[in-house]
Amino acid sequence: MGIHLLPTEVVDQIAAGEVVERPAHLVKELVENSLDAGADHITLEYSEGGRYVKVVDNGSGIDPADLPKALQRFATSKIEKAADLWRLNSFGFRGEALASIASVSRLTLTSRRPGADTGSRLIADFGKMGPIENVGGSFGTTLVVEDLFSNVPARLKFLKTAAAEGTQIKTVMKALALAYPQVDFKVLCDGQLIFQWLQASSHLQRAQDVLEVEKLYLGESTRQDIRVQAVFADPNTTAKTSKNIWLFAQNRWIQDRSLQVAVQEAYRQLLMHGEFPIAAVWVQMDPENIDVNIHPTKSQVKFVQPGDVFRAVQSAVRGTLEKAPWVQSLAEQHFHSGIDTNPTGNPPSTSFIAKSPEPANFQFQDQNLDRVQFPKKEMLNLETLKKYAPAKIRPAASFASVSDVDSQLSSPPAEFSTMKEEAPAKDLISDVKEAPRKFWSQLDVLGQAHSTYILAQSEKSLFFIDQHAAHERINYEQIMSAWKQGNGPRQDYLFPLVIDLSEEKVQALQIHFSELHRLGIELEVLGPGSVGVKSAAPALKESAIAQVIEKVAFELCQHGDSFQFEKWVGDLCATLACHSSIRAGQALSLPEMKSLLIEMDAFPLSTFCPHGRPVFVEYPFYRLEKDFGRIV
């Protein structure tokens, strides 16, 4: 066979293999065309797992004379010259999608420009275009695709079940809805309405509708020309895969491993192994700094400054996570609602309150409290209890004052001494004063269960606090902040510990000596292939030091940049924190427990241990009331 140009139909089918590999891709192309046409009402109907698709929009429509061009390859109304590729403000620009789809389906394109007397229609039967007909119909464009891939049996074979293809279509629609909050979307599957997302005023509101997570939080950041908005769930609300991290660049849904990691990194030490964040992130930047033309389905992009984008995303999420807004809402729920109404501990739901037969029965009375508060006589003594546990739950108004918390701290009783070593009370006071909200320190400590869990109560709930997890979290934050301030605790060695490493590793370490020093590990170069440890954090066992240094050196050689270093520091702090924390099974005195709770308030993220396990479990009293049949 001599060399010859391929016929158009073959070229289109080849392109179709790339652009519309699956029905979900087709849906994406069609809906993106509607968005490019400025539509703000878009309805998608599909059946047979997307082999039948209908998209109706109220966008700008197509002139009758242009209808055939719309179905031609490389015909587009969106760009003219190569330079336009760097100033894109539309999804489409290649003019390939409709031509590709038309070559593998029976496609009906109906369109009416706003204000036009009539609409017009063009049918293409597996690539063969019919005549342009005049029709009525509403303003905008309707595209129907039928019998997808009927002429390409090989491709048909690769389609999964209708349900599986449907799942992909739903995912695509969710992504598009997240990208365009201002657009009304309706999705029907086999004639049934499955999604309806009404116009939303913000990303946050749209994300709440689409992700179906009740409470989401917003974080924002800017770095040079990069602007990031991130909406995400608290670390209690997680997913089992990374699929719930939705990423958008210039309103395009993208797959980007690095930004996905940026979101996960922001949750560092807040999630357990196997838990993934639920988050949507929108990144906007000058169009010159992003290339969207690197992938057939345009699902991947290239950033000119990937490092900056990474950091901007990470800090948008982390910035809000660090304020632990979910703890605040927990506090509001517990204390603020207590001021006005509802002293019963019932949940705010009116139906519950209405059903409660005798709400007055469940008020706190001193006697009630006393009965619960002395489960273990030998451990609790009345004097300390009176001093540390307020006899009654305080009304919300008094929580603004931290004076009694402070006075407890400034004259710590003898029992505090063990904890004081690790957490100097003075530092703590200043932190406590700065902390925006008191929650844990306001709880009444009831006792210790199983020598592992601190039992405490608020007006509305009983709390079990894992003493090891709680203390670990506090230590972690203290070590991290010591590192940030450059004064980690150190223990000097009489003779430096010699560690042999490759020259490359020694050099990599050397660059970071000062940072390691701030963490409490002081190194010196002893030769081209060895370092000496002059001092280390007291919590770090001597036997573990060589391993730790080896690991840091390895990481630094592998990745080199300071981000990896920060990540590693986080891990190291978690290890140090774990080794210096109260163990499970260790009996604690009431003041010790109380002081632990006070410390918990000093750090914003203290509701999860550094390994992401929860620090506490809450039992609302209404649940007890229910269990005891006091309410139905």
Q: Is 37 in the site for ligand ADP (CB under 6 A)?
A: yes
What number of CA atoms fall less than 13 Å from residue 582's CA on the CB side?
28
Of 47, 77, 305, 507, which lies in the binding site for ligand ADP, with binding defined by CB under 6 A? 77
Rounded least distance, CB 31 to ligand ADP, Å:
9
Q: Is 61 in the site for ligand ADP (CB under 6 A)?
A: yes
Q: CB under 8 Å to 618, separation ≥6 — which residues?
A: 461, 462, 463, 464
Mark out the alpha helices in 180-287 (DSSP H runs): 203-211, 257-266
Of 33, 103, 105, 478, which lies in the binding site for ligand ADP, with binding defined by CB under 6 A? 33
442 binding partner (options ligand ADP, Mg ion, none; Cβ < 5 to 8 Å by kind): none
601 binding partner (options Mg ion, ligand ADP, none; Cβ < 5 to 8 Å by kind): none
Distance from C-alpha of 615 to C-alpha of 454, rounded to nearest angstrom:
11
Residues 448 to 507: which contact Mg ion by CB under 5 A? none
Q: Is 516 in the site for Mg ion (CB under 5 A)?
A: no
Stretch that binds ligand ADP, among 87-95, 301-309, 487-495, 596-604 (CB under 6 A): 87-95
Rounded least distance, CB 249 to ligand ADP, Å:
18
Nearer to Mg ion, 50 or 612 (CB): 50
Total residues at interface with Mg ion (CB under 5 A) = 3
Q: Is 70 in the site for ligand ADP (CB under 6 A)?
A: yes
Of residues 219, 278, 217, 268, the one with CA closest to residue 247: 278
Of residues 215, 221, 431, the one with CA closest to residue 320: 221
Nearer to ligand ADP, 29 or 477 (CB): 29
Residue at shortest CB range from Mg ion: 92
H/E run at residue 469 = helix 467-485
Q: What are phi and psi of 446, to 5 degrees?
A: -100, -30
Query: What is the x/- site pattern for Mg ion, positions 277-316, by CB under 5 A?
Result: ----------------------------------------
Nearer to ligand ADP, 33 or 373 (CB): 33
Distance from C-alpha of 140 to C-alpha of 55, rounded to nearest angstrom:
11
Nearer to Mg ion, 205 or 300 (CB): 300
Of residues 110, 109, 91, 85, the one with CA closest to residue 35: 91
64 binding partner (options Mg ion, ligand ADP, none; Cβ < 5 to 8 Å by kind): none
Nearer to ligand ADP, 96 or 477 (CB): 96
Q: Are 488 and 601 in contact (CB under 8 A)?
A: no
Rounded least distance, CB 76 to ligand ADP, Å:
3
Q: Which residues pair with residue 55 across a beta bridge?
A: 44, 143
60 binding partner (options Mg ion, ligand ADP, none; Cβ < 5 to 8 Å by kind): ligand ADP
Rounded least distance, CB 118 to ligand ADP, Å:
16
Of 20, 24, 98, 283, which lies in the binding site for ligand ADP, with binding defined by CB under 6 A? 98
Residue carrying structure tokens 């690991």: 551
Q: Which amino acid is at 392?
A: K
Q: What is the largest CA-CA distance in the chain?
A: 101
Residues 82 to 101: which contact Mg ion by CB under 5 A? 92, 97
The burial class, CB within 10 Å (0-12 / 13-18 / 19+), for 349 is exposed
Q: Is 76 in the site for ligand ADP (CB under 6 A)?
A: yes
Nearer to ligand ADP, 70 or 183 (CB): 70
Q: CB under 8 Å to 457, separation ≥6 — which residues?
A: 372, 393, 443, 444, 446, 463
The burial class, CB within 10 Å (0-12 / 13-18 / 19+), for 136 is exposed
57 binding partner (options ligand ADP, Mg ion, none; Cβ < 5 to 8 Å by kind): ligand ADP
CA 570 vs CA 279, 445, 566, 605: distances in Å: 22, 31, 6, 14
What Rg do the C-alpha atoms of the chain give, in angstroms? 31
> What is the DSSP code (8-state) at residue 439?
-
Of 27, 31, 33, 217, which lies in the binding site for Mg ion, with binding defined by CB under 5 A? 33
CA 595 vs CA 28, 122, 139, 380: distances in Å: 56, 76, 68, 15
Rounded least distance, CB 200 to ligand ADP, Å:
22
Nearer to ligand ADP, 78 or 295 (CB): 78
SS3 228: strand
Distance from C-alpha of 277 to C-alpha of 242, rounded to nearest angstrom:
7
Task: List, in sequence order, every beta strand (DSSP E) within 505-566.
Answer: 522-527, 530-536
Of 12, 29, 592, 599, which lies in the binding site for ligand ADP, with binding defined by CB under 6 A? 29
Of 23, 50, 95, 345, which lies in the binding site for ligand ADP, with binding defined by CB under 6 A? 95
Rounded least distance, CB 62 to ligand ADP, Å:
5
Nearer to ligand ADP, 61 or 127 (CB): 61
Stretch that binds ligand ADP, among 45-53, 95-103, 458-466, 611-619 (CB under 6 A): 95-103
Q: Is 49 in the site for Mg ion (CB under 5 A)?
A: no
Stretch that binds ligand ADP, among 70-78, 220-228, 232-240, 497-505 (CB under 6 A): 70-78
Q: Are 580 and 402 in contact (CB under 8 A)?
A: no
Q: What are phi and psi of 309, to 5 degrees?
A: -65, -45
Residues 116 to 175: which contact ligand ADP by CB under 6 A? 141
Which residues here bind ligand ADP, judged by CB under 6 A?
29, 33-34, 37, 57, 59-62, 70, 76-78, 92-99, 141
Which residues here bind Mg ion, judged by CB under 5 A?
33, 92, 97
